[in-house]
Amino acid sequence: MKVIVAEKPSVARSIAECLGITGKYEGYLEGNGYQVTWAFGHLVGLKNPDEYTPDWKPWRMETLPIIPDTFQLKANDDDGAKKQLAVIKSLFSKATEVVCATDAGREGELIFRYIVDWTGYEHLPVKRLWISSLTDEAIRTGFNQLKDGGTFYNLYQAAKCRSQADWLVGLNATRAYSIKFGQQGKGALSIGRVQTPVLAMITQRDSDIAGFAPSNFWEVVALYNDIQFQYLDGRFSTKLEADNLLVKLGGHNLTITDVAGKSKKIMPPLLYDLTDLQKDLNVRYGFTAEQTLLLVQSLYEKKSVTYPRTDSRYLSGDMKADMPKILESLCGQFAAQIALLPSGAMPDNRYFNDDKVTDHHAIIPTATPPKSLNADEAIAYQAISLRFISAFYPPCIKQVTTVKAVINGENFKTAGTIIESQGWQVLYKDDAKDKDAKILPPFVKGETGAHQPKITQGKTTPPKSFTEATLLAMMESAGKTCEEGVFKDAMKDSGLGTPATRASTIETLIKRGFIVRQKNNVVSSPSGRELIKLIPSESLKSAALTGEWEHKLKLIEQGTYSPDVFIQEIVDFTQKIKTDVEGINHSPIIHNSLGDCPLCNGKVIDTPKTFGCSNWKTGCQFTIWKVISKKKISTAVAKELLAKGETKMIKGFIGKNDKEFQAGLKMVNGKVLFSF
């Protein structure tokens, strides 16, 4: 019996349906010589420290770094996961061959191999199903072209190294920083190979904004024939310089010195990879990265689009023949857009590049029309479909005219744009127009005439806060922050994290309280900024570490770098983390402080019985009791007292005579007193 292992129940059902497998049993389907079973994502993972030895359960600095001699696997604690693993192990015990049908990529390979290793059936022959969509045609083709499982062993080695490296660095760094700088009762200070550099980027941007000092500037323009000409040498930092130029221009005609027009061809955009789709839907609809991932994953499982977790915007060359069929399948929903295409239209060759298709090609619609999509799924599906249809359209042709002029020896310029042919941009005609575009009158070289010069004043503006779209773009291109060329090159294709994990990285930082969403912006919290300040090792908070790792993981995939050497380098790095932390002198990081201590300028924090100073260990005794004269003091009242030094009148205090009274609270020399 051949056992097929899919990553999810929905994928298992799609495979079974395609292969005519109808027998339903607890945890698997059976028929036609196959048993189809499934995981729920990661059923098996690396053991927790205390599962190696009880000595590693307490968080103590003296037990760090925690480095197992040999990594061991464990079943997820979830009862459903354990039950499903028992089913899989039972099926393996009678199998003649196993087909790996998890997602075709590094993490999918890890999910499958960890299950096989945990069950103890590594000796079974393995075949690999490698597909990019769940349509019946793709599944049938994939089973007709099953690959030998050994072909993907290096991919598994890279995935395993990534998993173990994240365990070593994340666990040891999180424990070390939490022990030394954590606030009791407020959770761990989560540190990670990807999340910490991302947090550093956000805090740096916020710091740049906070420290930005706006400055005035002045520009000189000349209005001629109802068109504004800009001074070619740019802005002035003082008004006096602008005034001097204005005086020089007065009484002199403007003369056209050059009129140059050229046709500009704007090609249709490349197809979507996951990150590009996440950025686009964030800008257009305010969807979070996590929201977009879930939507496109749902579309994939409904067989409406191809595999979503891709970092490629290209198609393989052998897909050219499939293009007309997919386009035809879209005619029902996008008839008006497709009707404008010339007969026999095809995407040009720049969309097909085998060298730029790694695990999966770009996200495109399948030839299976969608059914029962909710409103948000329909938005995502339309975006993917229109991007695909645009590849069949001709380029947009713009006529760009640049006009140069001179006034008493000073050079000016203006430019205008005329759209000669909308081409693919007709699909996006509702998008915001180019605000700088303007239509020019027919200027002629040598013409001259009077003009109206004037000075305009402006202010420099700070950089903008990250949105999820711009943050994703920075994560994708984080290689720009790497100085070493070999690592910079490695990160061109990977950046910080992978397309599949970037959304969860953002969500993790929000969950940990290190960043917050403010409308569509993503900004750092006080605790996030404080954490980044105290990390001394640039490798822990820069893209360089990820660049080095990604470079070596790619070499491991190619079979040209030793996994053992890679892990030993990670162990060496992990041992240095403890040394770095022990050398830092810093008070605990305060999560969500109520305000500043009036005695020592420390942070006032919420404790079980008081709102007290975080520097109590060093002797500060400032306290606001949570119950005063039998009246519970709220957080809001404590914040008001700290901010203003006194509160409004408060009802409900009970005196020694058991009579109720009202009073305000005030601070006098660091003591909380009544104010009547």
Average pLDDT over every residue of 602-618 = 77
Residue-level pLDDT at 367 = 92
Residues 6+ apart with CB under 8 A from 453: 220, 221, 222, 223, 246, 249, 250, 407
The conformation of residue 559, written as its DSSP 8-state character, comes to T
Residue 599 has pLDDT above 60, yes or no: yes
- The pLDDT confidence band at residue 523, using thresholds 50, 70 and 90, is very high
pLDDT tens-digit profile of 311-364? 899 999 989 999 999 999 999 999 999 999 988 899 999 999 988 887 789 999
Q: Give CA–CA dist 489/494, Å, rounded.
A: 9
Token pair, residue 13, equals 């059902």
- The pLDDT confidence band at residue 186, using thresholds 50, 70 and 90, is low
Residue 184 has pLDDT above 60, yes or no: no
- 5, 100 in Cβ contact below 8 A? yes
Average pLDDT over every residue of 566-587 = 88
Helix (H) or strand (E) holding 83: helix 79-92
Phi, psi of 125 (to 5 degrees): -65, 140
**CATH, domain 2-145, list 3.30.750.24, 3.40.50.140, 1.10.10.1100, 3.30.300.30:** 3.40.50.140
Annotation: CATH topology of 274-390: Topoisomerase I; domain 4 (1.10.290)
Please state the pTM of the whole predicted model. 0.80
Residue-level pLDDT at 233 = 93
| Domain 216-264+396-423+444-459, CATH homologous superfamily name and number | Topoisomerase I, domain 3 (2.70.20.10)
Residue-level pLDDT at 181 = 84
Ranges of beta strands (E only) in 247-395 are 254-266
How many CB atoms sit inside 10 A of residue 93's CB? 12
Mean pLDDT of the residues in the chain: 90
- 512, 567 in Cβ contact below 8 A? no
Residue 194 has pLDDT above 90, yes or no: no
Q: Give CA–CA dist 128/149, Å, rounded.
A: 5
Q: Active site residue: 34, 307, 393, 561, which one?
A: 307
Residue-level pLDDT at 590 = 61
Residue 593 has pLDDT above 60, yes or no: yes
Give catalytic status of residue 34 as yes or no.
Answer: no
Phi, psi of 198 (to 5 degrees): -65, -45
Give 538 or 198, the one with higher predicted confidence: 198
The total number of residues written for the chain in this structure: 676
Annotated domain spans of the chain: 2-145, 162-210+465-582, 216-264+396-423+444-459, 274-390, 595-675
Average pLDDT over every residue of 77-105 = 93
H helices within 467-562, ranges in order?
Answer: 468-476, 485-492, 502-511, 526-534, 538-541, 543-558
pLDDT tens-digit profile of 152-162? 999 999 999 99
Residue-level pLDDT at 436 = 47
Average pLDDT over every residue of 215-225 = 97
Residue-level pLDDT at 435 = 46
- 359, 105 in Cβ contact below 8 A? yes
CA-atom Rg of the chain in angstroms: 32
**CATH, domain 162-210+465-582, list 3.40.50.620, 1.10.460.10, 3.40.630.30, 3.40.50.1470:** 1.10.460.10
- The pLDDT confidence band at residue 554, using thresholds 50, 70 and 90, is confident
Residue-level pLDDT at 3 = 97
* 129-133, 484-488, 619-623, 663-667: the lowest-pLDDT one: 484-488
Smallest CA-to-CA distance from 71 within 35, 39, 114 is with 114
- Of these ranges, 49-58, 172-181, 539-548, the one predicted with the greatest mean pLDDT is 49-58
pLDDT tens-digit profile of 436-485? 467 899 999 999 999 999 999 999 999 999 999 999 998 887 756 555 55
Ranges of beta strands (E only) in 198-351 are 216-224, 227-231, 254-266
